[in-house]
Structure 1
Amino acid sequence: MNNTRAREQAGWRWGLFTLRVPFLHTRLYWQEFLQGLFVSAATGLALVPLMTGVFGLTFEEAVACSLIHAFLISSASIIFGEPYAPGWVTPALPLVLAVVIGEMSDPVERWQAMTAMSLDFAALVLILGITGLGKRFMLWLPDTLKAGIILGAAIAAFKRVFIDDAERFLHVQPIATTVACALCLIITFSLPLQALKERHRWLALIGALGLLPGFLAAAIVGPLVGEVDYDIQWGILIPPFADLWAKVSPFAIGWPSVEMFIQVMPLALMTYIMLFGDLVTGNEVIREAASDRPDEHVDINPTRSHLSVGIRNAIMGVAAPFFPTQGAMWTGVHVIIVQRWRQGRAGMDSLHSGIASYYLMGLPIIFLLLPLLTGLKPLMGIALSLTLILTGFACAYVAMAIPREPAERGTVLLIGMAIALFAPWIGLLIGIVATLAISGWSRREPQAP
């Protein structure tokens, strides 16, 4: 990484950040562009059923909200100069939904809660990043408590799909949803399939597409079993940003109360733990591949990363609040892009070009095309269920690997249940007490991002 021949991709500096203008500083790669066009759409629009079903938005307003989220996510690399493929802090999503949907019935109150979480998280990330206290905070947290929080996210995800929203999504499209989830779980986590991927490149390529294979399977199976009915419309969607602002912005509906800011602070703390893990993972993926690309220096700057996440969450919190859609990294996509980057300049001139291409060069055009939007509309509930189930499985996968002793495993399960089922402060308090009383405040030092 520090090779004297290495150079950093050109761009326009502004403070700690670097603006890289698409087509001027970064090239378009169709391989990444086409993947992003479909995969980003499938995941970026997955929240639309929730926004229309329980947050009081019309379909057009929900799409406009998702468009703002997509623009802010793509800005992480293009405007702020981050070397990661950005995404949601997905493990926190089921915990957030459990609190916002489970404990609040009024749509205005739900949007205010989303604003409170976004601004709490923004303030926390900015303070911990600027002061350098983030690493110390992670050193102080015991492994059992970290694992319990992650397992709580897994339990909350499965509860959201199989219990809380079963009538809305799972019971309406049971076969298509089952096919999509089963296919993605097998492709992503199956141990027997991993060996086959090493021998068959086409299988490896399918596995690298993340949610897309399962989503396409649902799109084919759904109409055959009568669970999906397409109503394709033609034209261009003009996003109703003014109507969206009037329904979601705290400048229009009122600011959260001080009590609400305090109530949701534990969720911001737990989300930071997950964010820190994403940064560590992203750095290691880049560092491991950098030896094959001595021609490009990739600047890893923890302070810049914290500032980028904090600023984006602050903007989202007042314009289109839906926490936690502004994180640091989308792990699967990051790995895919880095693996192609490491193959050499002939395949990808710069890591930043690959990331910008995947995020449609910062122009989420799919949100404006009615044929694609209306084609995806009956599949959005499946996309949400798929996202939550894969998140739950992945969180459980990580959480169960952390504890070493039987007592720690039992404590992790207890904490996970408390985090998933009780209010944030109560769940976190139970987690702290259980950790102290049963497994002790033991911890292993994480690697700094």
Structure 2
Amino acid sequence: MENAMSRPEQPGWRWGPFTFRMPFYHTKFHWQEAVQGFFVAAATGLALVPIMTGAFGLSFEEAIAVSMIHSLLIGSALIFFGEPYAPGWITPALPLVLTFVLTGYEDPVSRFQAMTALSLNFAVLLILLGITGLGKKFVIWLPDTLKAGIILGAAIAAVYRVFVGDESSPSILSQQPVSIILACGVCLIFSFSLPLQKLKEKYRAVAMIAALGLLPGFFIAALVGPMVGEIDYDIKWGILFPPVADAFAKMSPFAIGWPSIEMFVQAIPLAVITYVILFGDIVTGNEVIRDGMTKRKDEHIDINPTRTHLSVGIRNGLLGLFAPFFPTQGAMWTGVQVIIVQRWAQGKEAMDSLHSGLISYYMMGIPLLFFLKPLLTGLQPLLYVALALTLMLTAFACAYVAMSIPRNNTSRGTVLLIGAGLAFFDPWTGLALGVIATLVMVGWDRNSDPIPSED
């Protein structure tokens, strides 16, 4: 059997544990991935804009500037740090974070300070666990029921944010009810429907539509929204130069002041909860790559958990200092990772290197999307749809993952209690409730080897 280490690795410039790969020099451009990435990024990368404008006091242009900074940091995982994963948000943590920040703090300044506290807490936690190698031991030590409750809590919080909301942040559905219901229905059906799975196997056209991810839902909302009076397009031409300095002045702790010690303390449980979710993403990414490597014998992919912890930690630290909006800096976007690895596994003719495919998907690190005013203003009326789609797909996926973990009915009921506690109470109360409920109802039911292939 061929030694994996004897395979060549895509070249780059090493710096510490990281590898810098310059686009077009170390990596080739694959237009197939670039086209997909451009349109999917347009559909999902701007989903936070309505929150930043509605609950954090930014203008549309300032929110675009912040989204551009987030996008550049996400792309840096591939270019500057040499990660082999398609980076993305830690999406299941997003509804929990929104509940914590929007219900706990009333003004934009304190909300941004809370986001800074979350990002910096998370960065420190990741760097410490990465350097010491304690990350895997910590996740294995946690009981399965508590982990499932954390994931279900994200699902409940996401559904609550879409359908119910609160005084500080009305429900997303109330903004464009018909468009959002149609878009979410289409995407959920194409993503998860069992009857449709059979049609995808039978009809190529259905499979192609399903492979477009969020775009079919967007398309339906874009068509129906104007008919029902919920969407009004005002497309403007020209080039937008995102006002980065103006956004910095409204959100960076260097401009608005640093979080209080109390904020840092209150944010600790959410950092721990988010880490549990992140670790699951890393394990999933490793298994997707290992499966692809069974077919690609010609390229070695360096899987390095310490590098990943440090990479995500550094990106979250930079985010907290300059454009805080936790948790948009994660390790992996599962759907994109699977799509790219599948084409990479077809052979060198299809994709010369996994790194080339990944960097091409992220437009070689060039944030072209954020400068095109016609595209941005055309998408602006659909951004609430984008946010609702992101949260609802997250809720559905988190719910079925959470419910697949418990091994008995008592554990399933306890998972619901934990999930509700995390979704509706502050993080410390919710996490304390989760620990107590697990101990009293189930016991510390940890799996001693839940990820046997992760090293």
- Scaled to the shorter chain, the TM-score interval is over 0.9
Instruction: Tell me which residue corresponds to 1:148.
Output: 149
1:134 aligned onto 2:138: no
Cα distance in 2 between the residues matched to 1:437 and 1:167: 36
Residues 397-416 of structure 1 aligned to structure 2 (within 5 Å): 397-416=400-419
Compared CA separation, residues 416 and 168, structure 1 to 2 (3 A): closer
Deviation string for 1:239-271 (max 9, x for gaps)? 111111111000110000111100011000000
Q: Tell whether the 8 Å contact from 1:150 to 1:396 is kept in structure 2 after alignment.
A: yes
Instruction: Tell me which residue corresponds to 2:159.
Output: 158
Instruction: State the Cα distance separating 1:201 from its structure 2 match.
Output: 3.4
1:282 aligned onto 2:285: yes
Residues 13-32 of structure 1 aligned to structure 2 (within 5 Å): 13-32=14-33
Instruction: Tell me which residue corresponds to 1:124.
Output: 125
Q: Tell whether the 8 Å contact from 2:78 to 2:355 is kept in structure 1 after alignment.
A: yes
Match of 2:241 among 238, 241, 262: 238
Deviates more, 1:6-15 or 1:397-406: 6-15
Cα distance in 1 between the residues matched to 2:5 and 2:383: 48
Cα distance in 1 between the residues matched to 2:285 and 2:446: 22
Instruction: State the Cα distance separating 1:167 from its structure 2 match.
Output: 4.8
Q: Tell whether the 8 Å contact from 1:2 to 1:297 is kept in structure 2 after alignment.
A: no
1:307 aligned onto 2:310: yes
Q: Tell whether the 8 Å contact from 2:163 to 2:172 is kept in structure 1 after alignment.
A: no
Q: Tell whether the 8 Å contact from 2:84 to 2:302 is kept in structure 1 after alignment.
A: yes
Instruction: State the Cα distance separating 1:205 from its structure 2 match.
Output: 2.9
Match of 2:294 among 291, 314, 327: 291
Deviation string for 1:332-375 (max 9, x for gaps)? 11111111110111111111111111111101211111000000
Q: Tell whether the 8 Å contact from 1:87 to 1:329 is kept in structure 2 after alignment.
A: yes
Instruction: Tell me which residue corresponds to 2:378.
Output: 375
Cα distance in 2 between the residues matched to 1:163 and 1:4: 52
Cα distance in 1 between the residues matched to 2:33 and 2:3: 27
Instruction: State the Cα distance separating 1:227 from its structure 2 match.
Output: 1.6
1:417 aligned onto 2:420: yes
2:208 partner amino acid: L
SS at match of 1:170: coil
Instruction: State the Cα distance separating 1:169 from its structure 2 match.
Output: 3.3
Cα distance in 2 between the residues matched to 1:2 and 1:203: 41
Q: Tell whether the 8 Å contact from 1:85 to 1:330 is kept in structure 2 after alignment.
A: yes
Instruction: State the Cα distance separating 1:13 from its structure 2 match.
Output: 1.0
Instruction: State the Cα distance separating 1:4 from its structure 2 match.
Output: 6.4
Cα distance in 1 between the residues matched to 2:186 and 2:33: 22
Q: Tell whether the 8 Å contact from 2:85 to 2:358 is kept in structure 1 after alignment.
A: yes
Q: Tell whether the 8 Å contact from 2:266 to 2:427 is kept in structure 1 after alignment.
A: yes
Deviation string for 1:60-104 (max 9, x for gaps)? 110000000000001101110000000000000000000100111
SS at match of 1:13: strand
Residues 34-49 of structure 1 aligned to structure 2 (within 5 Å): 34-49=35-50
Q: Tell whether the 8 Å contact from 1:113 to 1:260 is kept in structure 2 after alignment.
A: yes
Residues 102-113 of structure 1 aligned to structure 2 (within 5 Å): 102-113=103-114
Match of 1:270 among 273, 289, 297: 273
1:115 aligned onto 2:116: yes
Deviation string for 1:121-161 (max 9, x for gaps)? 00000000110000110111000000001000000000000
The alignment-based identity, stated in percent, is 66
Instruction: Tell me which residue corresponds to 1:191.
Output: 194
TM-score (norm 2): 0.97
2:407 partner amino acid: R
Deviation string for 1:167-189 (max 9, x for gaps)? 56312311111111011101111
Instruction: State the Cα distance separating 1:10 from its structure 2 match.
Output: 1.2
Cα distance in 2 between the residues matched to 1:390 and 1:4: 38
Deviates more, 1:213-222 or 1:167-176: 167-176
Instruction: Tell me which residue corresponds to 2:258.
Output: 255
Instruction: State the Cα distance separating 1:5 from its structure 2 match.
Output: 5.8
Give the paired residue count. Answer: 449
Instruction: Tell me which residue corresponds to 2:34.
Output: 33
Q: Tell whether the 8 Å contact from 1:208 to 1:332 is kept in structure 2 after alignment.
A: no
Instruction: State the Cα distance separating 1:197 from its structure 2 match.
Output: 2.1
Q: Tell whether the 8 Å contact from 1:138 to 1:446 is kept in structure 2 after alignment.
A: no
Instruction: State the Cα distance separating 1:199 from its structure 2 match.
Output: 3.1
Instruction: Tell me which residue corresponds to 1:342.
Output: 345
Instruction: Tell me which residue corresponds to 1:90.
Output: 91
Cα distance in 1 between the residues matched to 2:108 and 2:83: 34
Cα distance in 2 between the residues matched to 1:78 and 1:200: 38
Q: Tell whether the 8 Å contact from 1:5 to 1:295 is kept in structure 2 after alignment.
A: no
Q: Tell whether the 8 Å contact from 2:5 to 2:300 is kept in structure 1 after alignment.
A: no
Cα distance in 2 between the residues matched to 1:355 and 1:315: 22
Deviates more, 1:185-194 or 1:1-10: 1-10
Instruction: Tell me which residue corresponds to 2:325.
Output: 322
Instruction: State the Cα distance separating 1:219 from its structure 2 match.
Output: 1.3
1:387 aligned onto 2:390: yes
TM-score (norm 1): 0.98
Cα distance in 2 between the residues matched to 1:199 and 1:296: 34
Q: Tell whether the 8 Å contact from 1:176 to 1:222 is kept in structure 2 after alignment.
A: yes
> What are structure 1's unaligned runs of at least 5 residues?
none
Q: Tell whether the 8 Å contact from 2:70 to 2:319 is kept in structure 1 after alignment.
A: yes
SS at match of 2:172: helix
Q: Tell whether the 8 Å contact from 2:29 to 2:360 is kept in structure 1 after alignment.
A: yes
Q: Tell whether the 8 Å contact from 1:289 to 1:339 is kept in structure 2 after alignment.
A: yes
Instruction: State the Cα distance separating 1:3 from its structure 2 match.
Output: 3.9
Cα distance in 1 between the residues matched to 2:298 and 2:198: 32
Instruction: Tell me which residue corresponds to 1:355.
Output: 358
Cα distance in 2 between the residues matched to 1:294 and 1:348: 13
Instruction: State the Cα distance separating 1:224 from its structure 2 match.
Output: 2.5
Q: Which runs of 4+ in 1 moved over 6 A?
A: none
1:217 aligned onto 2:220: yes
Instruction: Tell me which residue corresponds to 2:56.
Output: 55
